[in-house]
Amino acid sequence: MLVITLMVVMILGLLTIVGLLVTRLGSAAPLPQLPESVILPEGSIPAAVTFAQDWLVVVDQNGQVLLFGRDGGAPVSVTPLP
């Protein structure tokens, strides 16, 4: 009887996990709000882009971290990587 109870609980748990994965992964994630334009410094080639809550962060191939505001435009901060 104990083995049957354990089997039923495991099956219910597995079905619950599969159901949660289907409902959570079935919908598309919302895309971040992009600024109208981003002005990169001359000679800067983006290597990575990250979207924060209020910022857009661009790392270029020259080893600089460029921090842009929500509205885009020119970088608010330029920090060289060590």
- Residue 70 near residue 55 (C-beta atoms within 8 A): yes
The pLDDT tens digits for 27-72 are 777 777 778 888 888 888 999 998 888 888 999 998 999 999 888 8
Range 25-60 burial, b when 16+ CB lie within 10 A, else e: eeeeeeeeeeeeebeeeeebeeeeeeeeeeebbbbb
The structural domains of the chain, with segments of one domain joined by +, span 2-80
Residue 4: predicted pLDDT: 95
State if pTM tops 0.85.
Answer: no
Element containing residue 48 per DSSP (H, E)? strand 46-51
Q: Phi then psi for 74, rounded to 5 degrees?
A: -80, 155
Name which CATH class applies to 2-80. mainly beta
